[in-house]
Structure 1
Amino acid sequence: MEEFRANSGRVGGPFEGGDLLLLTTTGARTGLEQTSPLGYVRDEDGHLLVVASAGGAPRAPAWYHNLLAHPMARVEVGTESFGAVAVPTEGAERDRLFAHVVRQAPGYADYQARVSRVLPVVRLERSFPDAPFTGLVDKLLEVHTWLRDQLRHVVAEADAYFAARTERPGGTGAPPAPLGLQLRQHCLAFCESMHTHHVSEDQGAFPVLAEKYPHLAPALARLRAEHRTVDRIRAELERLLADLTTAEPDHFRAELARMTRELEAHLDYEEEVLIPPLSEIPAP
């Protein structure tokens, strides 16, 4: 990893000339950051694909289990570093992408031949474009825009997922791939990002604003209370996602709709209250 970072992603030895990236995940059990050097292949749309092969070991590598628990990851490739949402592919899509990977890197076919488990193919989707920092107001609006877009994405995927499940015989069969893991990962990524955003406000931005603008105390207290309300709904959604295939559609949709109403109202109020004072603070 030191050689990778010191040489813009190029390394020597047995990996010389290979396409490598560094993937930083959050430990499923420890909650600590862990970085793994991995080979990658780009798909037809330019997305980065990594295979949880573990060199043909019978068990998936730790980084894969980390991504199932915490889909938000950090990717370093060449001189570039960006946040990503990790989405394991499923069914026919996985098979098509694995064949694409094997055409670019035939060694993965050997790894698959050694084990009975199906080697997961994970697509690393950029969480949002990395934009230059131009001020606190722009950063707040950037985060809020991403949260709103991600929530709409989750709602659309949930509607498609449950519609597909209802169309199966008896309305209770397993949904067709790839909506299951895709919905789960996007929803978890949204929940984690929203939680991180609110914690950073409660512990960082709000105390600074309260000291500089005492008259904002009632508004900041309301925003903190709304954070707790939204966080309770987030926890319920994550609990439902633990077994998405048997989740009760009406209950899931009701929680998602309540989350949407609460979050939209919260973001609107936060922008109304915070944009004026934030616009007066010089950009660091």
Structure 2
Amino acid sequence: MDRRTRLVQKISSTRTFARIAPHVIPALDRTVHRLSGGKALLSTRMLPGVVLTATGARSGLPRSTPLACMPQDDGGWLLIGSNFGRPGHPAWTGNLIKNPEAEVSWRGRDVPVRARLLTGEERARAWRAALEFWPPYAAYQARLEREIRLFRLDRR
């Protein structure tokens, strides 16, 4: 791991980052995604990312959210509902629970997906992989009383 990655991981583990990042990173990602014709996200300089479009649990309207993801060997994705280590589950997780059929923008392509909330041993395995992938998730979980939700997205 290079020095830049270690520095970003250290910074992203802080409470200050958790207060500021949710207001800055998604807005920058949306702008870069739009300007690149769906081919790029600014945050992918450190982590792979998708733009998830899911149906709002309450509104029924499409809701698009740029998210870090863990691409899986079989072509699916793992999404971690860390909410930057802030209390409360991110809204997109509730949307996927109520409406699991969604779409991701991945490398310039829109891909229909079906989401599944992971539980039990499957969640435990995915959580270990997530911590290996991005160690700051451990700091996020340590600050929280809730269990961070993990979703598996499979292509439809």
RMSD in angstroms over aligned alpha carbons?
Answer: 1.5
Say yes or no: does 1:122 pair with 2:151.
yes
**Which AA in structure 2 matches 1:119?**
I
Match of 1:63 among 92, 102, 105: 92
Paired position in structure 2 for 1:24: 53
The alpha-carbon deviation at position 16 of structure 1 amounts to 5.2
Paired position in structure 2 for 1:88: 117
What's the CA shift string for 1:105-158, capped at 9, x where partnerless?
A: 11211111111211111011111xxxxxxxxxxxxxxxxxxxxxxxxxxxxxxx
The alpha-carbon deviation at position 9 of structure 1 amounts to 3.5
Paired position in structure 1 for 2:133: 104
Aligned partner of residue 25 in structure 1, secondary structure: strand
Paired position in structure 2 for 1:191: none
Displaced runs of 4+ in structure 1, greater than 6 A?
Answer: none
Paired position in structure 2 for 1:10: 40
Unaligned runs of 5+ residues in structure 2 are 1-29
Of Structure 1 and Structure 2, the greater strand share is in 2
Question: Alignment identity in percent?
Answer: 33
What's the CA shift string for 1:208-250, capped at 9, x where partnerless?
A: xxxxxxxxxxxxxxxxxxxxxxxxxxxxxxxxxxxxxxxxxxx
Structure with larger RCO (C-alpha < 8 A, sep 6+): 2
The alpha-carbon deviation at position 48 of structure 1 amounts to 0.4
What's the CA shift string for 1:183-216, capped at 9, x where partnerless?
A: xxxxxxxxxxxxxxxxxxxxxxxxxxxxxxxxxx
The alpha-carbon deviation at position 44 of structure 1 amounts to 4.3
The alpha-carbon deviation at position 47 of structure 1 amounts to 1.9
8 Å Cα contact 1:43-1:100 kept in structure 2: no
Distance 2:39 2:141 in 1: 27
**Which AA in structure 1 matches 2:119?**
E
Paired position in structure 2 for 1:38: 67
Label 1:27 to 1:108 Cα distance change in 2 as closer, same or farther (>3 A): same
Distance 2:34 2:144 in 1: 33
Residue correspondences, number: 125
Distance 1:106 1:26 in 2: 30
Paired position in structure 2 for 1:47: 76
Say yes or no: does 1:74 pair with 2:82.
no
Paired position in structure 1 for 2:142: 113
Distance 1:19 1:5 in 2: 17
Unaligned runs of 5+ residues in structure 1 are 128-284
- Which has the larger Rg? 1
The alpha-carbon deviation at position 5 of structure 1 amounts to 3.6
